[in-house]
Chains A and B, each alone.
Chain A
Amino acid sequence: MSEKEEGVFRSAEMSLVQLYVPTEISREVLYDIGKLNLIQFRDLNSKISEFQRSFVNELRKLDNVERQYIFFKNELDKKSVELKKYPYEQEFNKICAQSDIDELTENGQLLEDRVGQLIESLYNLYEKEKSLKQFKYSVQSVDNFFKLNASNLPSSHDNEHDHLLNNLESGTQYTSEMNTSSFISGVISRDKVQVLQQILWRVLRGNLFYYTEELPELIYDAKSETKVAKNTFIIFSHGQLIHQRIKKICESLDCDLYNVDSTEDLRSQQLEEINGNLSELDIVLDQTDVALNSELIAISKDLSKWWEIVAREKAVYKIMNRCDYDGSRKTLVAEGWIPKDEIDTLNSTVKQTSNTLPIIVNILETTRTPPTFHRTNKFTAAFQAICDAYGVATYREVNPGLPTVITFPFMFAIMFGDLGHGIILSLAALALVLNEKKIGAMKRDEIFDMAYSGRYILLLMGLFSIYTGFLYNDVFSKSMSFFNSGWKWPEEFEIGDNISAEQIGVYPIGLDPAWHGTENNLLFTNSYKMKLSILMGYLHMSYSYVFSLVNYIHFKSMIDILGNFVPGLLFMQGIFGYLSLCIVYKWSIDWYAIGKQPPGLLNMLISMFLSPGTVEEPLYSGQASIQVILLIVALICVPWLLLLKPLYFKRKFDQEAKYKQLNDDSNDESLVESHEGDDDEEHEEHTFGDIMIHQVIHTIEFCLNCVSHTASYLRLWALSLAHAQLSTVLWTMTIGNAFGATGIAGVLMTVLLFGMWFILTVVILVVMEGTSAMLHSLRLHWVESMSKFFEGEGHPYEPFGFEGLLDEYI
C-alpha cells in the first residue's frame, strides 16, 4: 500500500470512483464500505423526489421500527431505566441478515403492542383508583359534615338551613321530593375551590350552603401524570332545576361528582364497598406495574443494540437510494468521492466481501470540484474546526488550520501575558489532556464539551502565556528578577528625591524588572507593546500573504501572481514593511551617543504621504528620496492591481470569441450536447464585467485593509495593557491590603483576602479575560490573516459511515 498523503497543508487529493455492485450483495458491500468511513456518495437521483426512490418501502418500515424504539426510550426515561451500552466492535462486524432485520421489525411490533397495552391498562387502573379514592373521601367528608353539624344542632337556632339538615339526616320528609339526594358532593382540584364558590354564589344569589374539606393525600392523575391536591365539597340547595345548573357548573370546572347516600347506614355500607374495591384494585395495579417494569427492563438490555442495527440498516438504504440502476436492474451503480490514496483499501475490502460475484471499481475523470478533506488528529482537529467555522477551504488550497496551530495561541498569549495566569490555564488544560480518555467517555454539557474539545488549544495558549508573561516580567502583576538588571539606581540621594536610573546593560530576556513600579513605567510599556503589536501584526499578515503566492503557484495562475500578488506585496511592504523596518532601525541606534533628536515614527509616516520629499527629523540620510520612491511605487501599484488582471482577461476573451466565430458553423451540435450533460454544479462563465467589478472591489478592499488591518493588530497592545493593569488593580485592592496588618487580624485578613484574590483571579482574569483575548485572537485569524489568502469556497468531505448515528437519541 502506498504511503498516505498527510492532507493537512492542503486537503487530500480526491478521486471520483464508480462502483458496479450486483444487486444481490449490494447491502453487504455498502455495509462494509460504511464501516471504512471513506466514501462520500454522490446523489445520482437528485431529480427524483424522496418518495419515488427505490427503497422507500424498506425505509418506511425501518422508520416505523425506529419510531417504536423512540417510544420505548421515552417510556424508559419516564421510569428512569438506564439503557445498557454495547461494545460495538464485535457485534457489528458483519451486516445482519435480512431475516434478522425482519425479526427485529416483528419483535418491535410485538413489544410495542404489549407495552402499549400495559400502559393503557395501567392508565385505566389509575383512573379507576382515582375515582374510587375520591368517592371514598367524598363519603367521608359528608360523614364528617353531618357529625360536625349534628353536635351543633341543639345550640343552633331554628333557621331554615338547620331544618333542612335535620330532615336530611333523618331522611324522611323530603325524600319523595328529591329522588336521589338533596345535596351534591364531589371532588375538585384545590386551586379551583374559590372559583367554584364564587360562581355558585353569584348564580344562586347566595341561596345555597357550601361546605369544603381538604383531601389528606394528593391524588395521582394519570392523564397529566402528576399528583394533584384536591378538595371535597358538598353543596346544599333547593330544587331540581337548580341542582341541574349546579351540576353543569361543576362539570365545566372539571369536578368529579359522586352520589353519596344521605343516611348514615347507607354511607357506611358504601364506604365498606369502596374500601373492598380499592384493596382489590391496588393488587391488580401493583401487578400491572411490575409487569410493565420487567418488560421495560428487558427491553433496556437490548434496545441500544437493536437500535444500532436498525440505524445502520437505514443508513445503508439511504445510500442505496442515492445510487443508480443499470437497465436490467441487476447491478447497482454508485458514485462517490474517496481520497486517492485510499482506493487500494476500498478495492481490497470490496474484494473480500464478494468472493464470487464481480464488483467493478472505476475511477472517473471529472471536472467537478471534489470535497475538501483535511486529515486531522486529536491535536489538530480543534484548530481545524476553528478555521472551518469560518469557511471550508477550497479544494487543494493552503489550509489555514496548519499555521493556526501556533499563531492562534501565540496571538492569544500576547494579549494574555502573565506567567501566573498562564500556569493556571496550562494546569487546567493539562488536567483535561491527561484525563482525556476518561472525560471523553463521560457525558458532557455544552460549555464543558467546548473546553474539552479545545483542550490542546487551551494547553498551547497556557504555555505561550507563560512565555509571554515571562517576557513581560509579570507574574500575578508582580515582577521577577532572574538576571541582573540593566539599570542602576544612584547610590546617594535624599528620601523623596525624584531619581532616575542609569543604564549599565541590557536585561537579557524580557522586560527589565527595574521598570516595575516606576513613575514612567506605563510610558515605556506603552511604547514597547504598541511597537510589538505593530511588528507582530505586520509579520503575521506578511506570512499569511505569502500563502497566497503558494496558492497561485500551485494552481499555476501566473496572472494572479503578476496582477495580484506582486503589486499587493509592493504596496504593503512599501508602507508597512518600511514602517516596521524603521521601528527596528530606530531601536538599533544609540541616539544619545550620536547626539541627535530621535524622530517620531508616526509623524514620519504621516508626513511621508502629506508632504512627500521633506523630512523634518531625519532617521537616516537619503530618507527623503527613498520615501518618495516608496510612495511612487505604492501609487503605481494601485492601478496595476486594478487593471492588469481584467485587461489580461479581456484580451483572452476577445481571442476566444474570434476563435469561436471561426468554429461556430462546424461545431454547433457538439456544443449543445456538452451543455446538456449534467447536472448539479455548473461552471459559471465569467464575463469581463464580472472580473472588472471583482477586481475593483478587491483593490479597494486590499488597499484599505492594509491600513485598517495593521491598526487592528493594535488590539494586541490594548488588551495586554488592560490585562496587566487589571491584575495590578486586583492585587492592590485585595491581597495587597493584607500585608500591613499583624496579629490575628493579619492572619484572618491574609487568608480571607487571599481566597478572594485567588477566586477573582481565576474568574475574572483567567476565565473572562481569557475568553475575550481568545475572541480577539479568533478575529485576528479570521479577518486579518485569512483574508490575505483564503478563498473558502470548498464543501466539506462527509464520508458515509456509521459513527454517531444514534447520538441524538441515546
Chain B
Amino acid sequence: MSGYTVLIVFVLVAVLCGVTWVAAPKENRTVWRSSVILGISMCFLMWAITYLSQLHPLQAPRRADLRPEM
C-alpha cells in the first residue's frame, strides 16, 4: 500500500467517467453525464483525501484502557 494506490484508483475512476460519458442514455443526457461523473469524482476525492491523510500519519492511536487478553 502506498500513495500509488491513489493514482491507480484515479485512473480507474477516470476510465469509469469516460464510460459514463459515452454510455449515458439519450434522454436527459446532460443530467446523466454531469450527475454521475460529478458523483463518482466527489466520492473518489473523499476517499482519496481520507486515504492520503492516513498514509503517513504523524500521530499514532494511543489509549490506556486496553486489557492484554483482548
Contacts and interface: CB of A to CB of B under 8 A. Distances in A.
A8 B61 contact: no
Given A471-B46, A506-B54, A406 B62 contact: no
B3 interface: yes
A506 B1 contact: yes
Contact of A591 (B38, B54, B56): B56
B39 A518 contact: no
Nearest to A380: B31
A405 B37 CA distance: 12
Contacts of B38: 403, 405-407
A598 B62 contact: no
Nearest to B54: A506
Nearest to B26: A3
B47 A410 contact: no
A810 to B, nearest CB: 33
A236 to B, nearest CB: 88
B11 interface: no
Interface stretch (A59-67, A265-273, A528-536, A673-681): A528-536
A508 B42 contact: no
A501 interface: yes
Contacts of A405: 31, 34-35, 38
A531 B64 contact: no
A539 B45 contact: yes
Contacts of A380: 31
Contacts of A535: 45, 49
Given A505-B1, A532-B50, A492 B68 contact: yes
A518 B47 contact: no
Contacts of B39: 406, 410
A590 interface: yes
Contacts of A584: 52
Nearest to B29: A6
Given A410-B42, A414-B46, A467-B46, A6 B62 contact: no
A108 to B, nearest CB: 45
A484 to B, nearest CB: 11
A694 B5 CA distance: 48
B53 A587 contact: yes
A519 B63 contact: yes
A243 B68 CA distance: 104
A394 to B, nearest CB: 19
B49 A503 contact: no
B7 to A, nearest CB: 11
Interface stretch (A68-76, A87-95, A334-342, A509-517): A509-517
B19 interface: no
A502 B60 contact: yes
A493 B66 contact: yes
A402 B33 CA distance: 10
A390 interface: no
Nearest to B56: A590
A305 B2 CA distance: 71
A499 B53 contact: no
Given A467-B43, A508-B1, A532 B60 contact: no
Contacts of A489: 66
Chain B interface category by residue count: 35 or more
Highest count of chain A CB atoms <10 Å: which of B1, B43, B52, B63: B63
A531 B45 CA distance: 12
B59 A498 contact: no
Interface residues of A, number: 63
B29 to A, nearest CB: 7
Contact of A6 (B5, B28, B52, B64): B28
A509 B38 CA distance: 20
B48 to A, nearest CB: 9
Nearest to A514: B61
A653 interface: no
Interface in A456-491: 467-468, 471, 486-487, 489
Contact of A501 (B1, B3, B31, B61): B61
B12 interface: no
A471 B55 contact: no
Contacts of A591: 56, 58
Interface hub of B3, B53, B67 (most chain A Cβ within 10 A): B53
A471 B53 contact: no
> Which of B5, B35, B49, B55 is the most central at the interface, judged by chain A CB atoms within 10 Å of its CB?
B49
B60 A406 contact: no
A496 B64 contact: yes
A318 B51 CA distance: 63
Most chain A beta carbons < 10 A, residue from B34, B59, B60, B61 = B61
Given A402-B31, A402-B34, A403-B38, A588 B56 contact: yes
A523 interface: yes
B62 A500 contact: yes
A521 interface: yes
A210 interface: no
B30 A402 contact: yes
Given A492-B68, A511-B50, A506 B60 contact: no
Contacts of B63: 498-499, 517-519
Interface string A524-568: 100110011001100100000000000000000000000000000
Contacts of A445: none
Given A486-B54, A510-B50, A511-B54, A519 B62 contact: yes
Given A539-B45, A598-B58, A506 B51 contact: yes
Given A493-B66, A519-B63, A520-B61, A509 B47 contact: yes
B55 A588 contact: yes
A70 to B, nearest CB: 41
Contacts of B3: 588
Nearest to A524: B59
Contacts of B61: 487, 500-501, 512, 514-515, 518, 520-521, 524
Given A499-B62, A499-B63, A588-B55, A379 B49 contact: no
A591 B55 CA distance: 11
Interface string A726-755: 000000000000000000000000000000
B31 A379 contact: yes
Given A467-B46, A508-B5, 5 more contacts: A402-B34, A487-B60, A511-B54, A535-B49, A588-B52
Interface of B: 1, 3, 5, 28-31, 34-35, 38-39, 42-43, 45-47, 49-68
List 3 tightest A-B contacts by C-beta distance, closest first.
A406-B38, A518-B61, A587-B52
23 contacts: A6-B30, A6-B31, A9-B34, A405-B34, A405-B35, A410-B39, A492-B68, A495-B67, A497-B64, A501-B60, A501-B61, A506-B51, A508-B5, A508-B51, A512-B54, A520-B61, A527-B53, A531-B49, A532-B46, A536-B45, A536-B49, A591-B56, A598-B58
